[in-house]
Structure 1
Amino acid sequence: MHTITFLGTSAGVPTRTRNVSALALQLENSKEWMLFDCGEGTQHRIMNTSLSAYHLSRIFITHLHGDHVYGLCGLLASKGMQRCESALEIYGPPGLRELLENVMHLSQLNLPFDLKIFEISEGTLLRYEGFKIDVVALSHSIVSFGFVISFDDRPGHFDAEKARSLGIPEGPLFARLKRGESITLPDGSTIEGSTLVGPPTRGKRIVIGGDNDAPLLFAPYAPFDLMIHEATYTQADFDRLPRKFLHTTAKQLSLAAEQMGVDHLILNHISPRYDKNDRISELLDEAKRYFSGKVDIAYDFMQIGV
């Protein structure tokens, strides 16, 4: 099972209990992990988990607002101090390369590992072993992206007992049958692997959204097992704002999630006003009025399995 750890769940500025945006995804049966956004102080949050910057392999930045990116250079410097030599990939919007290269040059940050910076755009498709990531352009005051992570289907259950009853010895022949291949036994009979393997299990699909006031932009990739998306305000608070910001409300997000067939919805990027006045329940209550699936509000160090 893959593990998601919320490292920062506040919008704009940190609070006493929430840091600014960052989220970790650790791959199943591996020390390797990936980071989505890196607000100021993210490396301090990492130090309070079982994660290690040494095993961080990829970073994905949704957009270049400070609460999503100001912790990046400090994290790179600390990773370098650990004498890590494996390459680190960073993906983000145009301007990311200029930002990093200027800070590294002016602060004389020399890294012992190869830093690979990729500037992404709408429609970018990233493929890795076991999963792929679609990049989705969002609606915000600055170029902002979301990431749809689709894990590969898992092979169906292999009926080892039936294979033994057919006289097939364990070992390489079992492995071939598990892959769905056909084998020929010494007596000349042929066994089709498909007769011993059940139907595949559909790979999970999750959404990690950047700042965005139009969650239905993810609809072409629906349905989703898990959607993590900002819900910065309740609808009533947003309606009272003298200046409107391009953020999503709990109502707006929940209506969209219901339409897209989301199984589990997690509200993230929470305005500090709800922490200061102990009003978190207002966001959750609003979401539950418009979404019939499982819904939670993210908090720092919250972990879920995928």
Structure 2
Amino acid sequence: MELYFLGTNAGVPSLERNVTSVALRMLEERRTFWLFDCGEGTQHQILRSPLKLSKLEKIFITHLHGDHLFGLPGLISSRAYQGGEDPLTIYGPVGLKQYIRTCLELSESHISYILDIVEHEGGLLFEDESFRVEASQLEHRVTSYGYRVTEKDLPGKLDTAVLESYGIRPGPLYGKLKRGQSVVAPDGRILHASAVQGKPKKGRIVTILGDTRPCESVLTLARNADVLVHESTFLHELKDTAHTYYHSTSRQAAEAAQQAGAKQLYLTHLSSRYKYEEQLIEMEQEARALFPNSIIAREHVLYDVERTVY
């Protein structure tokens, strides 16, 4: 898994940064990517990226402010022209369906693929054999959600030397053992998966938040996360401004990562007042003073989501 930031600015785009959108690329895990928020211009950012709209599987909208969803109508329409034939599911707060349907109907946009719009009020949104996605409401001027993506643990590597001693070669029996099932060897011996499997690979947790003040839901969503993507609209000297407008500072983001036991913090949703590199460095250093693994998210950079080793 890798994170790819398509927009890191708050409110409006600037010459330096686009408005909010971040991709979770999962080419190895499911040959797709998921998108979190879709500010205006996101599809243009994708054109400049290694991402392909045809591989977009899911979109998660945190809230209905324009800098987080004005890019949706164009992206939805363009996806079909860029080879997108598989179904696309979009999750978000109540009102999202009306917004999308109205835009598509009034513009007479015709979508050739299945578009499923899921309005939610938090809780478990999606689960399959590999991933689980949960949402909780944050504290913002409008209903805003954070998302917690949990990758399930993967089975450990098979010991091929032991398998050969049982006369078992790559094939269907390998698959059963990987799934934790016992098998019967060619000589009639029963072989249990636990005897030939290494330690499982621990699944990763990625938490991506919408706009928010510090609140308990942030800590719940970010608990033991491998990666936390947290808004950092202001430096802490403007903490009162942040509170008034229901946002967070870089220090508050670092406090959340520290308290939740997260492993890596990415700061995004930066006020357009911070235009210069030295200002971004100051914001990063402010967070690192509390939480050393803090990084200002840069657009068009791939960030690996590292796996914890048991």
**TM-score (structure 2 length as normaliser):** 0.92
User: Take 2:274 and 2:250, find their aligned partners in 1: how far apart are those partners?
Assistant: 13
RMSD of aligned C-alpha atoms? 1.9
Superposed, 1:291-306 pairs within 5 Å as 291-292=291-292, 294-306=293-305
Shift of 1:242: 9.8
Shift of 1:295: 1.3
SS of the residue 2:150 aligns to: strand
Shift of 1:163: 1.7
Superposed, 1:175-254 pairs within 5 Å as 175-221=175-221, 222-239=223-240, 241=241, 244-254=244-254
Contact kept, 8 Å, 1:125 with 1:133, in 2: the verdict is: yes
Contact kept, 8 Å, 2:166 with 2:186, in 1: the verdict is: no
Deviations 1:166-216 (A, max 9, x none): 333342233322332222234432221211112212100110000011254
Shift of 1:50: 1.7
Aligned twin of 1:21: 20
User: Take 1:181 and 1:242, find their aligned partners in 2: how far apart are those partners?
Assistant: 54
Deviations 1:111-168 (A, max 9, x none): 1122111101122431134101001111000000010000010101211112212333
Change (3 A) 1:111 1:170: closer
Change (3 A) 1:232 1:181: same
**Where do 5+ consecutive residues of structure 1 fail to align?**
none
Change (3 A) 1:224 1:189: same
Shift of 1:282: 1.5
Aligned twin of 2:44: 44
Change (3 A) 1:115 1:168: closer
Paired residue type of 2:225: F
The number of residue pairs the alignment matches comes to: 303
Paired residue type of 1:272: S
Shift of 1:83: 6.1
User: Take 1:124 and 1:182, find their aligned partners in 2: how far apart are those partners?
Assistant: 32
User: Take 1:81 and 1:162, find their aligned partners in 2: how far apart are those partners?
Assistant: 50
Shift of 1:54: 2.1
**TM-score (structure 1 length as normaliser):** 0.93
SS of the residue 1:274 aligns to: coil
User: Take 2:158 and 2:148, find their aligned partners in 1: how far apart are those partners?
Assistant: 30
Change (3 A) 1:102 1:185: closer
Q: Does structure 1 residue 260 correspond to structure 2 residue 260?
A: yes
**Where do 5+ consecutive residues of structure 2 fail to align?**
306-310
Shift of 1:53: 1.6
Paired residue type of 1:237: L
